[in-house]
């Protein structure tokens, strides 16, 4: 049955309108604050890949020639938006802000259905002011859609607690499948939803299960059909699960993303490198599903070789999922926070490290109803487990946030009611649980300075590419100061110095990059060029030769070797 507090059937539209208005206002203010930030107009990493894909779709190229390697829903959403508004990533951000604001209402209404109106208002307002959600709504990334779809799923299942048939049941299946088409690990929710549908006490359980399954088949059908037609086999979503599983579970993994080939962390190279390395190891051409299978097998071999180490890795990843730190991808919440006073202010309170403790308090306050709340518990724990199986990004765990908000809203509301009713013992237990969880999730287990330095390096690279060398060098110098042992950051700083004509200052950083990683790409060539500009010809010739040994097809290195050899005779 649906559990509701007294007077829940009153018209509460005013409260939901207020939540939507607050959410939209803070998001639009945030967009205004970052409007001059260089990453607002220059997309990098996955954002650039999604943008190019969306433009192709808007131009009429609906079917790519290859099986889906990345989750396809967000690029198709972008393509439809670009078809309507033109290629305007700025307006796409506005659309995402509207979607994010609507998601706050869905979180609030779902919390109302499970915990009452007061909890719904708190959960909705927390969603409106949650600083990572504001950040994600303002970048070109699929996190906004994952948050919206998870919120919609929670709303649907909260409304269908008594029955899951007809359009409601089909809606649950459709939304769950769409979520899996944007965040593949959400596939874990489908069996949970089918089991939940089956065990409901109402009659016609097989009909309900069939309704949910048919709903899920609607979004999956065209994706599977395309993958089969493009040679990817009977793949339900994408063919990148194997490489992702390997990157998160191989010997030496630490729970965060590391590219198969260091220095090639961008979307252009991920697929190419996965195929090239797999085919090189096997010695023949591989179909896309065979490439995925190869990387699965590699990871499983490492797991079987060191099962104890892998269990330790899984525990570490589970802890990373619940940690307050937003692990960055190509773009970083913390870099954007420097550009926005609003994000800095809200981020002091409304972040993952405060939400999870309040959710723990909510779990304690509602523990007597744990059987009735089994489904939101199962959804939250399943998503967290599915993230832990691979590797952890802040945006990957973003669909977990709506579930946490439900219980955080319940915790704050129920503690208020308990204090008013002088039920202090329950509140004491909840506060104790919240404090214990706060200590765990706010423990600094991430190398935050080093990770943030990497994001400063990405920002500096964009600034340098757009001719802002002084600003770029400021970023690179800060990055190297925070992470002096990163060859990539040393290379970035040295390249910027060389472009500014500061060759002698660049040379020590090139040497440091090679000392840290003797095989670092192009460092030998760039060091040789800097040495040549300083009239240090013999050392320059030595490094040109090393660059040529590493890549015999490098015509620029060959020409430099010929020139310096001729000049030194």
Exposed/middle/buried for residue 484 (C-beta within 10 Å: 0-12, 13-18, 19+): middle
User: Which tokens in the block code for residue 237?
Assistant: 């979503």
Centre a 10 Å sphere on the Cβ of residue 233 and count the other Cβ atoms it contains. 16
pLDDT of residue 551: 81
Give the relative orientation of helices 469-482 and 448-465 as an angle to the nearest 10 degrees: 160
DSSP-assigned states of every residue in 217-259: HHHHHHHHHHHHHTT--S-SS-S-HHHHHHHHHSTT--SS---
Strands (E), 140-211: none
Alpha-carbon span 273 to 410, nearest angstrom:
47
| Chunked mean pLDDT (size 10), the chain, 569 residues | 45 88 98 94 90 94 88 95 95 97 97 94 97 97 96 90 68 95 94 89 78 94 91 82 92 89 76 90 89 93 95 96 93 93 96 97 94 94 96 94 97 92 90 96 92 91 89 92 92 92 93 88 87 89 87 84 77
At 349, list the tokens: 């309170």
Beta-carbon contacts of residue 231 (< 8 Å; ≥ 6 apart): 66, 67, 287, 288
pLDDT at 202: 67
Report residue 123 as tokens.
């959960």
| pLDDT of res. 567 | 67
Q: Name residue, tokens 């192709």.
A: 56
Cα separation, 484 vs 453, whole angstroms: 9
What's the confidence (pLDDT) of residue 3? 44
Cβ atoms < 10 Å from Cβ of 83: 14
Taking CA atoms, 198 is separated from 172, 311, 568, in Å, by 14, 33, 82
**What percent of the chain is helix, strand and coil (3-state, nearest 5)?**
75, 0, 25
CA distance 532 to 461: 24
Could you give the CA distance from residue 168 to residue 215 in angstroms, rounded to a whole number? Answer: 10
Degrees to nearest 5, angle at CA 394 with 391 and 400 = 90
SS3 200: coil
Element (H, E) at 560: helix 555-567
| Biggest CA pair distance of the chain | 95
Roughly what angle, to the nearest 10 degrees, separates helices 424-441 and 352-365? 150
Kindly state the tokens that stand for 480: 């190297």
Smallest CA-to-CA distance from 249 within 297, 312, 310 is with 310
pLDDT at 423: 83
Q: Which two tokens stand for residue 491?
A: 């290379």
Q: What is the pLDDT of residue 164?
A: 58
Q: What is the 3-state secondary structure (H, E, C) of 376-440?
A: HHHHHHHHHHHHHHCCCCCCCCHHHHHHHHHHHHHHHHHHHHHHHCCCHHHHHHHHHHHHHHHHH
In whole angstroms, give the CA distance from residue 124 to residue 126.
5
Domains of the chain and any CATH numbers: 13-235+324-441 (no CATH), 472-567 (1.25.40.10)
* 561 token code pair: 């070797």
What is the DSSP code string of 488-522? HHHHHHHHHHHHTT-HHHHHHHHHHHHHH-TT-TT
Residue with tokens 């990387």: 295
What does the pLDDT read at residue 7?
A: 46
**Contact call for residues 383 and 400 (beta carbons, < 8 A):** yes
The residue to which tokens 């699965």 are assigned: 296
**Sign, CA torsion 56/61/63/64:** negative
Does residue 241 contact residue 68 with C-beta atoms inside 8 Å?
no
Phi, psi of 334 (to 5 degrees): -75, -30
Token pair, residue 60, equals 């009429």
Rounded to whole angstroms, the Cα distance separating 51 from 55 reads: 6
- Radius of gyration of the chain, Cα coordinates, nearest whole angstrom: 26
Burial class (CB in 10 A: 0-12, 13-18, 19+), 38: middle
> Distance between CA 274 and CA 291 in Å, rounded?
7
The rounded Cα 410 to chain-centroid distance in angstroms is 27
């Amino acid at each position: 049955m649906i559990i509701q507090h007294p007077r829940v059937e009153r018209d509460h539209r005013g409260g939901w309108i207020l939540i939507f208005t607050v959410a939209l206002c803070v998001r639009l203010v945030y967009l205004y604050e970052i409007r001059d930030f260089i990453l607002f107009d220059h997309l990098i990493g996955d954002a650039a890949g999604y943008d190019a894909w969306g433009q192709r779709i808007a131009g009429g190229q609906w079917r790519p020639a290859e099986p889906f390697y990345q989750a396809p829903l967000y690029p198709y959403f972008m393509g439809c938006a670009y078809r309507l508004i033109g290629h305007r990533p700025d307006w796409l951000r506005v659309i995402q802000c509207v979607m994010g604001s609507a998601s706050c209402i869905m979180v609030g209404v779902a919390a109302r259905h499970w915990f009452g109106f007061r909890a719904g208002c708190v959960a909705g307002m927390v969603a409106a002011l949650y600083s990572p959600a504001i950040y994600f709504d303002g970048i070109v990334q699929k996190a906004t859609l994952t948050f919206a779809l998870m919120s919609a799923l929670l709303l649907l299942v909260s409304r269908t607690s008594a029955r899951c048939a007809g359009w409601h049941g089909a809606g649950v299946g459709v939304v769950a499948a769409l979520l899996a088409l944007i965040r593949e690990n959400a596939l874990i929710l489908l069996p949970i939803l089918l089991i939940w549908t089956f065990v409901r006490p109402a009659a016609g359980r097989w009909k309900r299960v069939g309704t949910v399954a048919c709903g899920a088949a609607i979004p999956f059908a065209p994706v599977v059909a395309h993958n089969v037609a493009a040679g990817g086999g009977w793949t339900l979503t994408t063919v990148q699960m194997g490489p992702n599983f390997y990157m998160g579970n191989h010997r030496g993994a630490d729970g965060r993303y590391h590219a198969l080939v260091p220095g090639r962390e961008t979307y252009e190279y991920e697929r190419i490198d996965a195929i090239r390395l797999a085919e090189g190891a096997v010695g023949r051409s591989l179909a896309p599903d065979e490439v995925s299978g190869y990387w699965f097998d590699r990871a499983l071999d490492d797991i079987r070789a060191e099962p104890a180490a892998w269990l330790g890795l899984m525990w570490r990843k589970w802890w990373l999922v619940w940690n307050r730190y937003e692990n960055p991808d190509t773009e970083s919440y913390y870099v954007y926070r420097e550009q926005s006073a609003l994000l800095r202010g809200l981020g002091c309170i409304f972040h993952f490290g405060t939400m999870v403790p309040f959710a723990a308090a909510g779990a304690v306050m509602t523990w007597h109803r744990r059987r009735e709340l089994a489904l939101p518990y199962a959804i939250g724990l399943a998503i967290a487990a599915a993230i832990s199986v691979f590797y952890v990004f802040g945006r990957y765990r973003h669909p977990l946030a709506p579930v946490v908000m439900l219980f955080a809203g319940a915790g704050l509301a129920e503690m208020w009611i308990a204090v008013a009713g002088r039920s202090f013992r329950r509140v004491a237990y909840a506060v104790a649980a919240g404090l214990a969880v706060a200590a765990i999730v706010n423990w600094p287990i991430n190398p935050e300075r080093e990770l943030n330095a990497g994001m400063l390096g990405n920002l500096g690279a964009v600034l340098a590419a757009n001719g802002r060398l002084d600003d770029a060098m400021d970023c690179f110098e800060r990055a190297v100061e925070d992470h002096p042992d990163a060859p990539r950051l040393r290379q970035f700083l040295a390249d910027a110095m060389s472009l500014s004509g500061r060759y002698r200052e660049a040379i020590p950083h090139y040497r440091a990059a090679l000392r840290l990683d003797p095989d670092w790409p192009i460092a030998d060539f760039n060091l040789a060029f800097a040495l040549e500009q300083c009239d240090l010809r013999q050392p320059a010739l030595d490094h040109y030769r090393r660059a040529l040994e590493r890549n015999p097809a490098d015509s620029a290195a060959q020409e430099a070797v010929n020139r310096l050899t001729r000049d030194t005779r």
